[in-house]
């Protein structure tokens, strides 16, 4: 699976407003608690945006029939389940 962004770009996008601090290095004990919370909330927002842009819209499932409907429904619910698992992991 292709990475969505490079680490440097990710840091710039999510951590750019904190100059000199790399909030992606969670093992570093000097990271402020507020910064960690901000990072987690940004990740959850990003997952919610991804949820709205799944591989195909739900209408495709409704308009399909038989085994196709079953397969598409399974993929769709699997994606939602995985996103929810990721959100729980980040909390």
Range of the domain at 65: 56-91
- Residue 31 and residue 61 in one domain: no
Residue 42 shares a structural domain with residue 12: yes
Task: Map residue 22 onto helix, strand or coil.
Answer: coil
Mark whether 6 and 48 lie in a shared domain: yes
What pLDDT does 21 receive? 46
- What angle (nearest 5°) sits at the alpha carbon of residue 54, between those of residues 46 and 4? 50
Question: ∠71-85-54 over CA atoms, to 5°?
Answer: 45
From CA 53, how far away is CA 46, in angstroms rounded? 11
User: Structural domain tally of the chain?
Assistant: 2
Phi-psi region of 22 (alpha: psi -120 to 50; beta: other; left: phi over 0): beta
Q: How confident is the model over 25-72, as pLDDT tens digits?
A: 444 445 555 666 666 677 777 766 766 665 556 676 677 777 667 766
Do both 61 and 48 map to the same domain?
no
Within this chain, do residues 26 and 69 fall inside the same structural domain, yes or no? Answer: no
6 compared with 65, residue with greater pLDDT: 65
pLDDT tens per residue across span 7-27? 555 555 555 444 444 444 444
Q: What pLDDT score was predicted for residue 3?
A: 45
More confident residue, 1 or 12: 12
Q: What pLDDT is attached to residue 58?
A: 65
Q: Same domain, yes or no, for 42 and 72?
A: no
Do 45 and 61 lie in one domain? The reply is no
């Amino acid at each position: 699976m292709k990475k969505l962004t490079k680490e440097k770009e990710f840091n710039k996008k999510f951590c750019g407003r904190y100059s000199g601090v790399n909030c992606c290095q969670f093992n570093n004990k000097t990271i402020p608690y507020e910064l960690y919370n901000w990072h987690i909330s940004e990740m959850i927002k990003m997952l919610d945006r991804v949820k709205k842009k799944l591989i195909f819209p739900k209408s495709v499932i409704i308009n399909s029939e038989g085994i196709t409907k079953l397969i598409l429904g399974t993929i769709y619910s699997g994606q939602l389940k995985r996103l929810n698992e990721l959100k729980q992991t980040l909390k």
